[in-house]
Amino acid sequence: MDRPVHLTNIFDPISTPAQAIVELSWLVLWICAGIFVIVVGLLTYILIRFRRRRADADEPPQVYGSNQIELAWTVIPMLTVVVLFLVTTRTIKAVQDAVPSPDTVHVTIVGHQWWWEIRYPALGIVTANELHVPVSHQAQPRPTFLKLQSVDVAHSFWVPRLAGKTDLIPNRDNSMWIEPREPGLYLGQCAEYCGTQHANMLLRIIVHARDDFERWVAVQQQPPVNNPAMQVGRDLFQATACVNCHTVRETNANGTFGPDLSHLMSRATLGAGVVDNTPHNLRAWIRNPQHLKPGNLMPDMQLTPQELEHIVAYLVTLQ
């Protein structure tokens, strides 16, 4: 997929909540810029106009109190704050109180150290680190509502062009929604420090045209490829502790501690965005999981070179 520019530009929203937030931000910025110009302008003028001159007496005339001025600098800031409060409340309410339409896609996102589990309960799909959603047109809105959870520590879901940040908190369901209006690739990032690999907890959001999304769903719903030529690697994989943490549907691998591998090779990156998902990088990752992403929770399986080749050959078939 070709990469659009402005991947993470907060001032270039393409989704309804992000648009609402950016409009509010501009209003606040302009009001604050106005106040800044007035204050600094007056200050500069006064510093120059009333600076001490040689002919001046020792002290300028002393003025005590002015009802008019005091009233002005009390009432104007109060009105400004009230206006900011009201417009902010309106935006928060509009974003938070949105109601899903029947056509809405529902996704549950679970934060892990340091990757994203992505589940589509109604569609029976489980994937990782890549959120695929349909584009939403004004005439035919199709937003995506996200339920956010965490299994370990606090994380934060942030895709600047789509919406504001929302935390993923253990033992709590948070929610947010996006409504992207243009297909493309948008990048996100965990925005809450969550441990050593916080910076490598990256997110890719792929917004599809409608038909494309249906195609993606159909592919993900298919059972994993079971290529008889890869039987050795498949058996080895199933006999190794890989299965305690990873799921490959229709095998004995049903762990949920690590990412679901049923369609591993349909994803663009490994390790939540650390490297491209190529057979070469996959081999390097399994040979020494601590090399590409030090501190991640995948152990070294101590495979022999031959076992490694078999398992990689099998995993590469999981399209």
Residues that bind ligand CUA (CB under 6 A): 111, 114, 155, 190, 192-194, 198, 201
Q: Which is nearer to ligand CUA, 152 or 309 (CB)?
A: 152
Nearer to ligand CUA, 190 or 242 (CB): 190
| Cα 38 from Cα 129, distance rounded (Å) | 47
Q: Closest separation between CB of residue 39 and ligand CUA, Å?
A: 38
**Residue nearer to ligand CUA on the CB measure, 119 or 263:** 119
CA distance 256 to 36: 53
Shortest distance, position 227 Cβ to ligand CUA, whole Å: 35
Question: Least separation, in Å, of the C-beta of 293 and ligand CUA?
Answer: 13
The residue length of the chain stands at: 319
CB of 114 to ligand CUA, least distance (A): 6
Task: Give the type of residue at 25.
Answer: S
Residue position matching structure tokens 């959603």: 133
CB 14 within 8 A of CB 162: yes
C-alpha gyration radius of the chain = 27
Provide DSSP, 52-72: --TT--SSPPP----HHHHHH
Closer residue to ligand CUA in complex, CB, 130/192: 192
Residue 190 or 315 with smaller CB distance to ligand CUA: 190
Dihedral sign of CA atoms 265, 271, 273, 277 in order: negative
- Residue 277 Cβ, how far from ligand CUA at the closest point, in Å? 20
- Cβ closer to ligand CUA: 155 or 234? 155
Tokens for 282? Answer: 């996959």
- Closest contact distance (angstroms) between CB of 272 and ligand CUA is 9
Tell me if 84 sits within 8 A of 28, measured CB to CB.
yes
Count CB-CB contacts under 10 A for residue 281.
Answer: 16
Backbone φ and ψ of 51, nearest 5°: -70, 160
